[in-house]
Amino acid sequence: MTTTFAAAAPPPAAAAGGDTITLGGGCFWCLEAVFTELKGVTKVESGYAGGHLANPTYAQVSDGNTGHAEVVQITFDPNVVTLETILRAYFTIHDPTTLNRQGNDVGTQYRSIAFYRNEAQKAAIDRAIKETAASHEWSGTIVTEVKPFTVFYKAENYHQEYFKLHGEQPYCQLVVAPKVAKFRKKFHDFLK
């Protein structure tokens, strides 16, 4: 099935350092592996957001009691890639209809969540949710949380570039690699 989306408005002039969006959709290794390959993305960091504990560790977030989700913080040049393209990729590579889970990863730390930094980002996220729902790419109701951005905590160093460094591991082969392959197939014109 082909997904269609409304035409994106021309990107605004890039601010110094580009623009940033923070997204969660299951294990951050999956999201990071995809977004590092997207043309115009200049930086992707795995981390935690949306919870109440300052400076959480992976073990604390994995317990599911911090309120944090595993997320990626994506810095991009809007003159090269639009936020709409980033959001299309986001809603393609994770299932936004499963509450507090992605596949076998279960818990609030794996929820679908998008953090906006301004009203333009919020509007783009809301549009992407409506377009994704209308596309019927996923069966079920989209449960992605849309929240204002407050703080991002960078994950431990061993989580950064995890798929690139450990792609041979079973989890990477069974979970991350298929999402990367799906992304490469659907977004081949947007690859670096």
**Which positions are annotated as active-site residues?**
27
Distance of CA 33 to the CA centre of its chain: 10
Site of tokens 């995809």:
34
CA distance 9 to 30: 28
Q: Which long-range contacts (CB under 8 A, 24 or more apart) does 61-70 make?
A: 61/109, 62/107, 62/109, 64/107, 64/108, 64/109, 66/109, 67/108, 68/109, 68/153, 69/24, 69/108, 69/109, 69/110, 69/111, 69/113, 70/24, 70/26, 70/27, 70/28, 70/46, 70/109, 70/110, 70/155
